Structure 1
């Protein structure tokens, strides 16, 4: 993949960022930790070899490191609770929650990871009805 600048923000707009670099991976992660952190069936994350720049709201950023986990942590806006990117300086990498991007990325997820941890109700291959908005 090519060098990109990805821009994003939290739900309330207090925190804005840019991630610069090469997108290496784009995964849906079904692990229990990601499900707990997002409150959803999976987390959709981009992994970028590059850097993270906070454009505004850096003082609003909260951080939680799961004590027993070697790699798992959660970066979030302390105002609205939105997950935010996190830099991993020792790897020269950035993890970007895809839902925080302001524009659609030019690439699609490559894989589902920790599929065996998937909640039974989440993201199976069965067809469900779809609606443009709330159903009546």
Structure 2
């Protein structure tokens, strides 16, 4: 496939290698993504036809699928970090952008499900920013 990426969870127990190209990059504001991330949105990359190889920690992975939906998450049972979900039935790997250790050559293409975003998720571009923890 020619596009090789590596990534890991926060504690480093789960490490992976993904061979495939990211075709979509969405920032999803749906209530499910907000709950699983604890933040305003999830930043998910979509790699149709990609293959994932777990280099370590596959035995530490937990999987959650919301019945009656396509919503699923794979996460490290040690640190709780979201890691890629291999949706084999859909021939798709969904990769949380934050778990990648390599750069990607695609930028976010859209904010999606903004109709259900949190009421506090407005005007965040106007909030002061700091390179580190403010004093």
Bucket of the pairwise TM-score, normalised by the shorter protein: over 0.9
**Matching of residue 82 in structure 1 with residue 81 in structure 2:** yes
Tell me how far apart the structure 1 counterparts of residues 123 and 17 of structure 2 sit (CA, whole Å).
33
Deviations 1:71-129 (A, max 9, x none): 01121000000001011112221000000001231221111110111112126464111
Tell me how far apart the structure 1 counterparts of residues 123 and 85 of structure 2 sit (CA, whole Å).
29
Map 1:25-104 to 2 at 5 A: 25-49=24-48, 50-67=50-67, 69-104=68-103
In the alignment, is the contact (CA less than 8 A) between 1:51 and 1:92 conserved in 2?
Answer: no
In the alignment, is the contact (CA less than 8 A) between 1:20 and 1:52 conserved in 2?
Answer: yes
So what's the TM-score if we normalise by structure 1?
A: 0.92
Unaligned runs of 5+ in 2: none
| SS of structure 2 residue aligned to 1:23 | coil
Shift of 1:3: 4.6
Unaligned runs of 5+ in 1: none
So what's the TM-score if we normalise by structure 2?
A: 0.92
* Residues 55/43 of structure 1: CA separation in 2 closer, same or farther (3 Å cut): same
| SS of structure 2 residue aligned to 1:22 | coil
Give 1:127's aligned residue: 126
Tell me how far apart the structure 2 counterparts of residues 48 and 101 of structure 1 sit (CA, whole Å).
13
| SS of structure 2 residue aligned to 1:130 | coil
Shift of 1:135: 0.8
In the alignment, is the contact (CA less than 8 A) between 1:85 and 1:96 conserved in 2?
Answer: yes
